[in-house]
């Protein structure tokens, strides 16, 4: 059994000399604890309160459930012919026409003009001032010519017949005026030059592979921020360089692959997706 002696004692003078140091230590500890609280408040993850941009403003996000997708986002290839690819192309890539009407965000005019001898039909396109890709490069006649040459030289493309009737494309006015000559008449010429591609970024590559996993530049209301097939996520961001009169009203569109209808129902109930656009199943 332990038998300790009496408790140690401290002289009154020694106690008085030690008290200020103890008080200072206590003050230092309090200050340190206060700094720790401030640090913990400042280090709060901004994403925990929602999606924010660099300025700290909340960004509007819409999440959409879609069918599982494969890589390949070229809307001109038969192999990439899906509703998803066409929908993304409508949001991201510029077109000369929307249906039977000129896309006034891209062109100021598109009309048939008198053709010289030896030319069956001639069209004249005038590109709108300020029309540009998301990297700041203007849309020019080079984009029209690139799409034409690749369409007629690549096997397995969609709606190629009108492009085969083109005999020559010339540009003027710094590339903003495009004149297209045809060797045979094309009745539905408004179908031409839909979903133009950024020729300045794609020219060196093979046409069937240039949009295999990404769309490097946009000239629509949105741009492709990321494509993650492993997670089944495609993220579109609002294109801040869009020059049109009606820019996107949503900052971020997330496309999320849905594997089963029960998963779709669960995600809808929990609010993780806003709506679902998938092929019908038995349930």
Say whether pLDDT at 111 is over 50. Answer: yes
Ranges of each domain in the chain: 61-277
CA–CA gap between residue 109 and residue 116 (Å, rounded): 20
> Is the model more confident about 4 or about 175?
175
61-277 is a CATH 3.40.190.10 domain: yes
Mapping DSSP onto H, E and C, the string for the chain reads: CCCCCCCCCCCHHHHHHHHHHHHHHHHHHHHHHHHHHHHHHHCCCHHHHCCECCCCCECCEEEEEEECCCCCCCCCEHHHCCHHHHHHHHHHCCCCEECCEECCCCEEEEEEECCCCCCCEEEEEEECCCCECCCCCECCHHHHHHHHHHHHHCCCECCCHHHHCEEEEEEEHHHCEEEEEECCCCCCHHHCCCCCCCHHHHCCCCCCCCCCCCCCCCCCCEEEEEEECCCCEEEEEECCCCCCCCCCCCCEEEEEEECCHHHHHHHHHHCCCCEEECCCCCC
pLDDT at 235: 97
pLDDT at 154: 95
- pTM (two decimals): 0.77
Say whether pLDDT at 283 is over 80. Answer: no
136-147 pLDDT tens trace? 999 999 999 999
- For 10-24, 84-98, 130-144, 169-183, which range has the lowest pLDDT when averaged over its residues? 10-24
Confidence of residue 17 (pLDDT cuts 50, 70, 90): very low
pLDDT at 9: 53
Say whether pLDDT at 34 is over 50. Answer: no
Highest average pLDDT, of 7-16, 36-45, 228-237, comes from 228-237
């Amino acid at each position: 059994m332990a038998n300790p002696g009496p408790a140690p004692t401290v002289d009154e003078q020694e106690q008085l000399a030690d008290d200020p140091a103890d008080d200072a230590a206590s003050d230092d500890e309090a200050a340190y604890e206060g700094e720790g609280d401030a640090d913990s408040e400042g280090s709060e993850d901004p994403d925990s309160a929602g999606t924010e941009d660099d300025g700290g403003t909340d960004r509007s996000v819409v999440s959409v459930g879609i069918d599982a997708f494969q890589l390949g986002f070229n809307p001109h290839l038969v192999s990439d012919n899906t509703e998803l690819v066409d929908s993304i192309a409508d949001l991201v890539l510029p077109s000369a026409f929307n249906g039977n009407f000129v896309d006034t965000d891209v062109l100021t005019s598109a009309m048939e003009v008198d053709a010289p001898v030896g030319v069956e039909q001639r069209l004249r396109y005038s590109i709108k001032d300020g029309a540009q890709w998301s990297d700041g490069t203007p849309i020019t006649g080079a984009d029209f010519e690139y799409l034409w040459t690749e369409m007629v030289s690549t096997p397995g493309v969609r709606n190629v017949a009108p492009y085969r009737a083109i005999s020559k494309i010339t540009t003027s006015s710094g590339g903003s005026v495009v004149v297209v000559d045809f060797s045979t008449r094309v009745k539905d010429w408004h179908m031409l030059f839909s979903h133009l591609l950024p020729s300045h970024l794609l020219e060196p590559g093979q046409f069937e592979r240039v949009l295999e996993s990404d769309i490097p530049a946009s000239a629509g209301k949105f741009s492709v921020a990321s494509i993650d097939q492993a997670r089944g996520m495609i993220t579109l961001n609002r294109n801040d360089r869009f020059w049109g009169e009606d820019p996107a009203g949503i900052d971020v569109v997330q496309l999320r692959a849905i594997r089963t209808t029960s998963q779709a129902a669960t995600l809808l109930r929990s609010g993780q997706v806003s709506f679902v656009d998938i092929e019908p199943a038995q349930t």
